Amino acid sequence: MPSNTFNSCMEFFHHCIAQLKNQPIQTFLTLLHIHL
């Protein structure tokens, strides 16, 4: 996996963590929708 793709994934992951702290239910539903 290219390092830039890995960095993008990590940035997205950290963004999700921040969102979970702010609005956990909405973020969970969004992630659920993305993976379905």
pTM for the full model? 0.47
Alpha carbons within 13 A on the beta-carbon side of 3: 0
Give the pLDDT of residue 24.
Answer: 81
Give the pLDDT of residue 36.
Answer: 63
Give the pLDDT of residue 1.
Answer: 57
Coil, helix or strand at residue 23: coil
Residue type for position 18: A
Domain ranges of the chain: 3-35
- Residues 8-36: tens digit of each pLDDT: 989 988 987 887 788 888 878 887 887 66
Give the pLDDT of residue 23.
Answer: 85
Query: How far apart are the C-alpha atoms of 20 and 12, rounded to whole Å?
Result: 12
Given a contact cutoff of 8 angstroms between Cβ atoms, the answer to whether 4 and 12 are in contact is no
